[in-house]
Amino acid sequence: MINENDPSTLSTSGRLLSYNNAVKEGLKTGQQFTELMDQLINTKDPKKLVEAAQTLSVFELDSDYVTFPHQYNNADYYLIFMSRLLELHDQGEAITLESHEDDQHLTQQIAALGDLGVFAFVGANDSNGGVYYQDRVTNETLFYLNLSRRMMRFNSSAITKLFVETYADKIEKDQLLTATDLLIAFGQALKTDFGFDVDFNLLDTNNNEFYEFATSNLGSEVVDKLFVAAAQENYMLKHDKDGAVLELAPDLTLKIASHNANGGAAWGLYVTDKDQSVSWFKVLLEYPFLRKWYLENIGDLQIRSDSLVF
């Protein structure tokens, strides 16, 4: 660069030399970018994949003397990373990427949802480099992802609104489960490949998962409504010492509890099944009377998400 305090850069040759060096540095940056893109697109090593995505997500391609007119947004590299990681776990055909030349960004579609849902990552506006995975049609944020902090958090409110309310009457239950299973597969890959801390929220199938309600003081009238709704479907809601229990099938039990796993006072529920393959989300799709009860009382029953990121 031209330095007014350096006489050599004020001469004609000095200025030209400085300009030429700046162009070289800009082109060198471009070369570095293409090498990182090659790594992101082609590597089969998960560690190299996440390293490329992390670097590209904060990469500054342009310089004072070299500007590249066609560029993706930084958040788009998260989308490529997600697609590639799923590909490495034999799920590549379950999603498609589309490039939009008008505003130079990428979007993703989940094959199981057909034409429903167009997804993309957007910056979370935090100081930690996190991003949100959003449906561009409804702007619902399904999860938060942060590569540098090695964490992922699902958003129960958005999952409910999009898959239980918006999509439930438009496509088959199996398609909804396939779509959410894909998101779970991505989270599981982050855990197994990189040791991420992942909170699956209402998608978690672990029997020990406590789905905590938004309210800390659940009114008896809400439980009474479930008692009536269950009886109408020939199910018996039984009260116990700290809540109520509903046997949905021989190996599937729903328990509403006033205490979490550590004994702390908090209202929520457990879903218990023999194979630990059923989540609260799956229960909502499988049992319409529970879905109706949940949605009609969502102000109290909404499953709590991580307040630090949503």
Residues 6 or more apart whose CB falls under 8 angstroms from that of 179 comprise 110, 112, 113, 117, 163
Q: Which one-letter amino acid corresponds to residue 50?
A: V
What pTM did the predictor assign?
0.90
Helix locations, the chain, DSSP H:
12-42, 46-56, 76-88, 156-159, 173-194, 220-232, 280-286, 288-296, 298-301
Please give the pLDDT value at position 176: 96
Q: Which tens digits make up the pLDDT trace of 175-204?
A: 999 999 999 999 999 999 999 999 999 999
Domain coordinates in residue numbering, the chain: 7-71, 77-202, 211-301
The alpha carbon dihedral of 205, 208, 213, 218 has a sign of: positive
- Inter-residue contact 3 to 16 (CB < 8 Å): no
The tens digit of pLDDT for each residue in 239-264 reads 887 889 999 999 999 999 988 777 77
What pLDDT score was predicted for residue 4? 53
For position 126, what pLDDT does the model report? 72
| Alpha-carbon span 142 to 200, nearest angstrom | 11
Residue 85, Cα to own-chain centre: how many angstroms? 14
Q: What's the confidence (pLDDT) of residue 255?
A: 96
pLDDT bucket at 118, cuts 50 / 70 / 90: very high
CATH 3.30.310 fits 211-301, yes or no: yes
